[in-house]
Amino acid sequence: MLFCFSCENESINKYVATPSKLSIPKLFEDNILAPIIPVDNPQTIEGVALGKKLFFDSILSVNNTQACADCHAPENAFTDSDRFSDGVDGILGNRNSMPLFNLAWNYDEKFFWDGNTFSLEHQAFVPVTDPIEMKSTWTEVEQKLEQHPEYPLLFEKAFGTSKIDSTLVTKAIAQFERTLISANSKFDRFLLGEGELTPQELNGFNVFMDETKGDCFHCHGSDKNPLWTDNIFHNNGLDETFTDLGLGAVTGDPADNGKFKSPSLRNLAFTAPYMHDGRFTTIEDVINHYSEGLKNSSTIDPLMKKVAQGGVGLSDKDKVDLKAFLLSLSDHDFVKNN
Amino acid sequence: MKRIVSLIFVFLCIGLTSCSEDNDDKVSLTNVTFNFSHNWDEIPITNSDFNTIKFTNAHGNQLSIERLRYLISKITFYKIDGSTTVLDGYNLVDVTNNENLSFTPTTFLTTGSYSDVTFTFGFNNEDNSNNYEDLNSALWSVPAILGSGYHYMQLDGKFLNKTGTEQGFNYHAIRAVDNPGANPTFPQDTFFNVSLGAITISNNATFNIEMNIAKWFKNPKTWDLNILNQTLMPNSAAQIMMFEYGQDVFNLKTVNQ
């Protein structure tokens, strides 16, 4: 009886926002595991809407000058076209802003170039208080949001409370970020039988998949994995010595020095510059790196081929075709519609 | 519906067992677990031994291991009367990340005597043609130009080459393929079955299986990493060699029950 009573009370008092299932693209549904959605932060219509508003609102920064979207711009597939982003004081970081899409399929849930943060919710905590990014404090942010004419009601709708705290802010932002799904590139449509590729793009795909040529698939996946990344950390031969230890600084293991997360190859048309430090301004630069520019070091990934010769040595034609294929992974609707 | 039928069957079997304690021919359902451990010529290895050049293969190449993943599938129990029980599922052993070193199939096994227990290293050709979401997510698939399907093993590391320089190697086992491209052909099967021998299952059983990694380089000849180190997937001769070298790498250490 007591049990029934308490259940009844809970069901009466507990506010539930409107569930909003992620729209999972067919290629994802058919080929890879389901996205990661925490049980304590289900997707809701109100939560996503709140997260989107917060993402684009400079209220999260100390002086109300910087929003998440300033370094993660929709037109750049939610990254920054600058090599390094500047924070509220104009101080530059030392890594290129990461693009944001298909984040719910990062199965290990390690975020940032060096994987220093577990879960999308925890990731959203970081920039707000980073002294060279938004430079705020959560106490200040919570006060500003609670005094705002709209936010208390939006939090009420999303989470059933107008008591705003950092956990709810980051939950809302994470819900929004999980809706940033990119799956409508020319190559996607080709795989779905809804479009054709040019002979150049097709040859580029073969270069990508050919272990004697590009051998890109071991880290960046294939037509069987629409993420185009393994979300794992590799030293891809950028440097002989490291000024930025990457994963090694996180784990403390020298064997991880110089390792950074493989980024997705989707949306390269919008995400320049490339690599963790944005050192390459063009896709040609990136291809030339793997073809002739590899630098040996103790932690270089053994998947890097022909390191002594500088790389795999692609022909000029294969380079051009590979670029054409890579650009076919760009999703123009994604940058227009978000 | 299938699940309900299975549950009824399980309950019936449990019931039968509990009602026939004095019956010597009782049959009950058990779980079997397969643990995978690794050694280099009897010296145990875990991922803490990775990333350092500390091993020497039979050819004399000094090498490190940086990544080791392999697939086993189709665990099969053979009865003397010819009947077989194939346990559902497959297991991608990931030594690098210490994942899936223990595998408990969902299929129950009846107690009794079995004339042999086997598993497949990799996938047989039929299983290799299916689509597996978890393996695709783990970037385990093989490009269509190399015959499609999935890797059987990825053993990556570095060795000291003839000039004394560290050089990468990728000992990747797949289905051997010729004529990479639009119409690849397959010279011979390169998955293989590993026999664990006869066993009497009386209770929940744990099979402790070990892989001697050194044997991937040892028998029938010695594998020289200076000659065969990278780009081995489209090299059908190398794939057939891996098939040959792999025949005795697995060993059943113990069975606990």
Q: In the prediction, which pLDDT does B59 show?
A: 98
| pLDDT at position B4 over 90 | no
Helix (H, G, I), strand (E, B) or coil at B199: strand
Tell me which of A169-173, A245-249, A334-338 is least confident.
A334-338
Residues 237-256 of A with CB under 8 A from B: 255
When pLDDT is averaged across residues B27-48 and rounded to a whole number, the result is 96
Q: Which helix (H) or strand (E) holds B238?
A: helix B236-245
Of B66, B143, B234, the CB nearest to A222: B143
Q: How far apart are CA B177 and CA A306, in angstroms?
A: 23
Q: Read off the pLDDT of residues B218-240 as tens digits, 9 standing for 90 and up.
A: 999 999 999 999 999 999 999 99
Average pLDDT of the segment spanning A114-131: 96
Report the residue from B133, B139, B145 with minimal CB separation from A206.
B145
pTM: 0.92
User: Which tens digit of pLDDT belongs to each residue from A197-243?
Assistant: 999 999 999 999 999 999 999 999 999 999 999 999 999 999 999 99
Above pLDDT 70, what percent of chain B? 90
Is residue B104's pLDDT more than 60?
Answer: yes
Q: Write out the two tokens for A6.
A: 């308490």
Cβ contact (<8 Å) for B139 and A221?
yes
Of the pLDDT bands very low, low, confident and very high (cuts 50, 70, 90), residue A12 is: low
Q: What is the pLDDT of residue A13?
A: 66
Residues in a beta bridge with B195: B118
Asked if residue B10 has pLDDT above 70, the reply is no
The whole-number pLDDT of residue B1 equals 41
Scanning every residue of chain B, which has its alpha carbon at the shortest distance from the alpha carbon of A256? Answer: B51
Taking all residues of chain B, what is their mean pLDDT, rounded to a whole number?
92
Q: Give the closest-approach CA distance of B155 to chain A in angstroms.
A: 10
Does A2-178 match A186-336 in CATH topology? yes
For residue A132, pLDDT over 90 is answered with yes
Contact A215 B51 (CB under 8 A): no
Best of A24, A211, A312 to disrupt the B interface by mutation (most B CBs within 10 Å)?
Answer: A211
Interface of A with B in 21-50 (CB under 8 A): 30-33
For chain A, what are the domain ranges? 2-178, 186-336
pLDDT in tens, A294-327: 999 999 999 999 999 999 999 999 999 999 999 9
**Architecture of the domain delimited by A186-336:** Orthogonal Bundle (1.10)
Kindly tell me if the per-residue pLDDT of B3 is higher than 80: no
* CATH 1.10.760.10 is the classification of domain A2-178: yes
In chain A, residues with a C-beta closer than 8 Å to the C-beta of B66 are 301-302
